[in-house]
Amino acid sequence: MAMTDVLSAEDIKKAVGAFSAAESFNYKKFFEMVGLKKKSPEDVKKVFHILDKDQSGFIEEEELKFVLKGFTPDGRDLSDKETKALLAAGDKDGDGKIGAD
C-alpha cells in the first residue's frame, strides 16, 4: 500500500514542502496539512503501518527520523531534536516507541 492510497498526493506534497527547512517540523501542523486529522481511525492505522518499515507493530526512533520520506521520497530526514520531539508526543507509555493505538 502506498501513502497516496490513503492521502492526497497534493496534500502530501504541500505538507512536506512546508517543512523542508531544517528544524521547521511541527508534527501537529504537518498531520493536519497532510489530511490525517480528517481521516478515520482505520485510515490512520493504514498510514501507521506504512511508516512502520520493519513491521514490528511500533514506530521506533530510527523510523521516525525518516517519517517525511515515508510520505514521499523527496522528504528530508528529521533532525535529532525534531525526531525526539515527535517521539515524545507519540510515546504515551514511555517505552521509546510509538504503538498503533
95 carries a ligand binding annotation: yes
93 carries a ligand binding annotation: yes
8 carries a ligand binding annotation: no
30 carries a ligand binding annotation: no
Q: Give the CA angle between residues 57, 62, 63 to the nearest 5°.
A: 50
56 carries a ligand binding annotation: yes
Q: What is the CA radius of gyration of the chain?
A: 12
Strand partners, 60: 97
5 carries a ligand binding annotation: no
63 carries a ligand binding annotation: yes
Read off the C-alpha cell for 73: 521520497
Side chain identity, residue 36: L
**Residue list, annotated binding site for Ca(2+):** 52, 54, 56, 58, 63, 91, 93, 95, 97
**Residue list, annotated binding site:** 52, 54, 56, 58, 63, 91, 93, 95, 97
